[in-house]
Amino acid sequence: MPTYAIYLTSGFGLLLVLFVFLFCLSLRRYQRVIAVNKRFIQTICDIYEQVYELNLTNNEFYQYFILNGMLKKTKMHEPLSDYLPRVTSEHVYQNDVAMIKDFLTIERLQSVSDEECNLKIEYRRLSPQGTPYWCMLMVQGLPKSRRQPAIVILYVCDINESKSKERQAHQNLKQALENAERLNEVKGNFTSCISHEIRTPLNAIMGYLRIARDHKNDPKHVVECLDKAEIASNHLLSLVNDILDVSAIENGKLSLGEHPFKLRDFIASLDKLYYEQASEAGIDFLITLKDITEENLVSDDMRLRQILLNLLNNAFKFTPKGGRVELIVCQNAIVNNVAHMSFTVADTGVGMREDFIKYIFNAYEQEDSATARKYGGSGLGLNIVKGLVEMMGGSVEVVSAIGKGSRFTVNLPIQSTPYEMPKGAQCRAIARLRILAVSDDRGTLEIISRLVHRLDMHCDTAISCFVAMDKIKKIAGEGGNYDLCLLDWDTQGQDGTKCCAQMRELLGDDLRIAALVGTNALNLSAHAAELTLWRVIQKPLNHSILLDFFAEIVSAQEEKSEPGVQKMDFSGHCVLLVEDNNLNREIGREVLKNVNLDVEVAVNGAEAVEMFTQKPEGTYQLILMDIQMPVMDGFAATRQIRACEHSDAQTIPIIALTANAYPSDVNKSLAAGMNAHASKPIDPDALYSILEKFLTIKQGV
């Protein structure tokens, strides 16, 4: 202890402490610098695929790499002078070998070291799979002092992704430039074309006005000139409208309306518009409607018309005499009251080059200036078509071949609205009509069935005249008759006449036969009386046409049965009426007795079950069941009846009769085993219609 004290108090001791303190301080600083450098090199190794330290003085080199998260520096055993020629030939894409050899020489590296500068080069390396990818090689000379060797750091970095992005950006830029140049060109062409288009009618207007003034004393001539000037004005107006439409669509300023319209009227207006034009041009114009079941539509009919007019105008413009233009309207599917429709305009005209088709919907485009000169037009029509179709949520497609014609198909979802349905007594009378549809085309039968079912009617179908005759004979054997036979004349071909004659032979004039024809309706109409046809109906059939005919038949039947009132007669049938309320029960009994039904009553479900089970087979032909009753409700009673051993248990019709018409009640009725549902207050006609479905009726006056 005293020895330490001597040291500490002496000057030497103090110096020693100071030395140790300074040593520790500089050691810590050195370690910090080492750590920072290590972190920096580690980051460099992370960024670059390969990092080498090339010692030019000693002709050796080291590789830096990360192993298990630790930075490693490994001396390579090969001399640098041997390594360089090898590395420039291995793993380098063949086309870039010469460039790399020239870049990576000892002389060049020496100069990089001397100048303490850096050099970069991009080249393609080969992956282990042999595919080339872009890399960047950089050499950097480290600052050196007299005592330190000449060192150059070599980095290799994968730049394939950024290179590819750069290439893509370059490509995009090139494409944008090309597009801009093209747009500029077409706009230039458009300006000259549109100037010509505007000038032509304008010149005509001015010319005719001048001629009219010159002939002011010849009123006939003046009127002719004014008529022609008016035509030219209309043309000019439509051209200006086109330009405004394109502008509105492009700027998103065009809004679509929603108007209800009838497809039949809409198509008829197009037919009317083009019929004469087609005749004059010697072009065959056909309109075909396929699978149309929804004809009450809601859309912007004016814009839809504009779309079809543009397509039809083009079709007529590019179709020579003797050719054909066809408009095919098809309802492909109906989903949630939306009709998915296609409108196809097909022509046998000049067609288009395949390479032009991709530009066809661009604004201001025409196939070439010769087209514009020969056929006229602004080149805006199809751009408007595409713009409008897209606004309406649809699409447009085109198929075309030079010399063979073009086919444009517009697919549009269009809202449909409920059909006008007959009401009250007319509805019930129509529902009672018996219809037979005869066609050898299953599609036609399917459409007719769908349309007829929509009117809550039943329709028998026959795939041939032979089958039809069988059905007619069967109904006649039961003492009945069809009220209308829809006979597909086209598919029956010449047999239509024969089939019609066979039906007449069996039934005389009692059966109304309506011939369905696709074409030449007028020709057949001329012979309708001779062929004993009630009507000749142009296909396609639709809801309104059928409804009109059915109403006509009902009205004719009513006239025939006047002055007496036709009344149903269910005599011979016994109905069990189950109703707890005394007054309602009596009212129900009166309503049922009115159509000659025998009525027995039960005051609750339990009594009904008892009555039914105790009576012999065939006592009741139908049960009218109230739902909410004391003791046992209608659901439980129905379930018990259906489950009992009685031989009528499964077959007897049970009709729910209740003031609750909620869907849940209807579903519960059906689930309990009831066959149908009639609502209170009792509507006698509606109730009779339901009874008619389950009981055999006798028609009486």
Site residues (vs another protein, CB under 8 A): 580-584, 586-587, 590-591, 594, 626, 628, 630, 658-660, 680-685
- Torsion angle of the four alpha carbons 352, 355, 358, 360, in this order, in degrees rounded to the nearest 10: -40
Radius of gyration, CA atoms only, the chain: 47
Instruction: Check if the beta carbon of residue 408 is closer than 8 Å to that of residue 325.
Output: no
Shorter beta-carbon distance to another protein: residue 350 or 591 = 591
Q: Please give the Cα distance from 167 to 255 (Å, whole number).
A: 41
Residue with tokens 């005051």: 603
Shortest approach of another protein to residue 604 CB, angstroms?
Answer: 12
Shortest approach of another protein to residue 589 CB, angstroms?
Answer: 11
Question: Other CB atoms closer than 10 Å to residue 211's CB: what's the count?
Answer: 15
Shorter beta-carbon distance to another protein: residue 60 or 580 = 580
Shortest approach of another protein to residue 431 CB, angstroms?
Answer: 18
Shorter beta-carbon distance to another protein: residue 366 or 658 = 658
Shorter beta-carbon distance to another protein: residue 315 or 595 = 595
Six token digits for residue 412: 């549009």
User: Rounded to 5 degrees, what are φ and ψ at 135?
Assistant: -135, 160
Shorter beta-carbon distance to another protein: residue 581 or 619 = 581
β-partners of residue 288 are 328
Shorter beta-carbon distance to another protein: residue 218 or 586 = 586
Shorter beta-carbon distance to another protein: residue 37 or 594 = 594
Shortest approach of another protein to residue 433 CB, angstroms?
Answer: 22
Shortest approach of another protein to residue 579 CB, angstroms?
Answer: 9
DSSP string, 284-336: EEEEEEES----EEEE-HHHHHHHHHHHHHHHHHT--TT-EEEEEEEEEEEET
Shortest approach of another protein to residue 264 CB, angstroms?
Answer: 35
Long-range contacts of 162-168 (CB under 8 A, 24+ apart): 163/122, 163/134, 164/134
Shorter beta-carbon distance to another protein: residue 467 or 682 = 682
Shorter beta-carbon distance to another protein: residue 610 or 683 = 683
Shorter beta-carbon distance to another protein: residue 348 or 658 = 658
E strand spans, 84-178: 118-126, 132-141, 151-158
Shortest approach of another protein to residue 630 CB, angstroms?
Answer: 7
Class of residue 613 by CB neighbours under 10 A (exposed 0-12, middle 13-18, buried 19+): middle
Instruction: Check if the beta carbon of residue 341 is closer than 8 Å to that of residue 290.
Output: no
Shortest approach of another protein to residue 587 CB, angstroms?
Answer: 5
Shorter beta-carbon distance to another protein: residue 284 or 683 = 683
Shortest approach of another protein to residue 685 CB, angstroms?
Answer: 8
E strand spans, 202-263: 259-262
Long-range contacts of 399-402 (CB under 8 A, 24+ apart): 400/351, 400/352, 400/354, 400/357, 401/351, 401/352, 401/354, 402/350, 402/351, 402/352, 402/353
**Cα 241 off chain centre by:** 29
Closest CA to 303 of 169, 204, 393, 187: 393
**Cβ within 8 Å of residue 558, ≥6 positions away:** 429, 566
Residue with tokens 């230039």: 188
Q: Please give the Cα distance from 526 to 516 (Å, whole number).
A: 14
Shorter beta-carbon distance to another protein: residue 337 or 582 = 582
Instruction: Check if the beta carbon of residue 679 is closer than 8 Å to that of residue 690.
Output: no
Class of residue 208 by CB neighbours under 10 A (exposed 0-12, middle 13-18, buried 19+): buried
Shortest approach of another protein to residue 601 CB, angstroms?
Answer: 15
Shortest approach of another protein to residue 577 CB, angstroms?
Answer: 13
**Cβ within 8 Å of residue 634, ≥6 positions away:** 578, 605, 625, 626, 627, 628, 656, 658, 669, 672, 674
Q: Please give the Cα distance from 38 to 32 (Å, whole number).
A: 10
Shorter beta-carbon distance to another protein: residue 345 or 627 = 627
User: Residue 650 to residues 83, 175, 283, 637, 653: CA-CA distances in angstroms?
Assistant: 99, 76, 65, 13, 8
Shorter beta-carbon distance to another protein: residue 480 or 630 = 630
Shorter beta-carbon distance to another protein: residue 520 or 628 = 628
Q: Please give the Cα distance from 401 to 651 (Å, whole number).
A: 64
Shorter beta-carbon distance to another protein: residue 320 or 424 = 424
Shortest approach of another protein to residue 678 CB, angstroms?
Answer: 12
User: Rounded to 5 degrees, what are φ and ψ at 619?
Assistant: -65, -50
Shortest approach of another protein to residue 590 CB, angstroms?
Answer: 6
Shortest approach of another protein to residue 430 CB, angstroms?
Answer: 19
Shorter beta-carbon distance to another protein: residue 512 or 585 = 585
Instruction: Check if the beta carbon of residue 286 is closer than 8 Å to that of residue 329.
Output: no
Shortest approach of another protein to residue 572 CB, angstroms?
Answer: 20
Cα end-to-end span (Å), the chain: 145
Shortest approach of another protein to residue 688 CB, angstroms?
Answer: 11
Shortest approach of another protein to residue 639 CB, angstroms?
Answer: 20
Closest CA to 311 of 295, 300, 327: 327
User: Residue 522 to residues 90, 258, 496, 525, 535: CA-CA distances in angstroms?
Assistant: 87, 36, 16, 5, 11
Could you give the count of Cα atoms lying within 13 Å of 68 in the half-sphere of its Cβ?
0
